[in-house]
Amino acid sequence: MSLNLQDIPRVKTITKADFLKHYFKPQKPVVVECLTQDWPAYSKWNLEYMKAIGGDITIPLYDDRPVDYKDGFNEPHAKMKLRDYIDLLKRQPTKYRIFLWNALKEIPQLQKDFTFPKLGIHLIKRVPMLFFGGRDSHTFMHYDIDFANIFHFHFEGQKQVILFDQTQNEFLYKIPHALITREDIDFNNPDFKKWPMLKKAKGFKTELKHGEMLYMPEGYWHYMRYITPGFSMSLRALARNPKNFSKAIYNILIMRNFDNVMRRIKGQQWIDWKNQQAILKTNKHL
């Protein structure tokens, strides 16, 4: 048995009117296959190019170890020169990923390689973020703290993506006071005996190739696995739905700070309690 996932719709190109009508307003995901083909990045951006222009930069790295109470919010697990990290990606599988790296701030020339899509949404231009990963490395299933509309552009290789919207929360073993599901769930090959409520979840799937763009609506859960080594860039726009915008404010100002305080007070006991609550609260719907 596998997850109940439907393919994310795909289009070659899209107009602003069609994007707003068919995907943004109803908050549905879509893959646009040819949006980047007139960008210099389409022909230039690959791992060797990134290594050539940013190899001396020390970058933060993350892996898939379980959350520890000592970890700060988005605190990296290791650091490495970009050239050494890219050599590692090409040499062997590694769990280390680059996550939420504002590379365009450190390598300004990258800004000349792309243009912000004109799809009727005001994109935040100061925070294009890059993400890198090696073969079979993956993110935990999570959603973004700010409930942003995300435009995710993939470069080099292939990347598996699984999405769920917020209506599926009760089936996903969501960790309370956090933005993730249980970290020990393998969404690529889930164990339904251990996680029976996943059978009721309905989501979306796709595989991204070089130059393709995925639109992820506000608050969508996303799991991403690098089928081959590669990297992606995300552009984002603020949540437009007032309810989602208020959730973003709550997450940033209250939830994150409350969780950090409880980690300091309770230590690992707090993390263990949250993991247990994810099971109890989800399985009560069986």
Q: Which residues contact 285 (CB under 8 A, 6 or more apart)?
A: 170, 171, 197, 200
For β-strands 58-61 and 78-81, DSSP reports them as antiparallel
> Average pLDDT, stretch 25-44?
97
pLDDT interval class at 97 (50, 70, 90):
very high
Give the separation between CA 208 and CA 84, rounded to whole angstroms: 25
The pLDDT assigned to 75 comes to 74
For β-strands 129-133 and 202-208, DSSP reports them as unpaired
pLDDT interval class at 43 (50, 70, 90):
very high
The pLDDT assigned to 71 comes to 64
pLDDT interval class at 285 (50, 70, 90):
confident
> Average pLDDT, stretch 157-173?
97
> Average pLDDT, stretch 58-81?
79
Q: Is this model's pTM higher than 0.85 or not?
A: yes
Which helix (H) or strand (E) segment is 195 a member of? none
Q: Tens digits of per-residue pLDDT, 200-213? A: 999 999 999 999 99
The pLDDT assigned to 27 comes to 98
The pLDDT assigned to 73 comes to 55
Give the separation between CA 121 and CA 176, rounded to whole angstroms: 31
Give the separation between CA 132 and CA 95, rounded to whole angstroms: 11
The pLDDT assigned to 104 comes to 87
The pLDDT assigned to 72 comes to 58
> Average pLDDT, stretch 49-60?
95
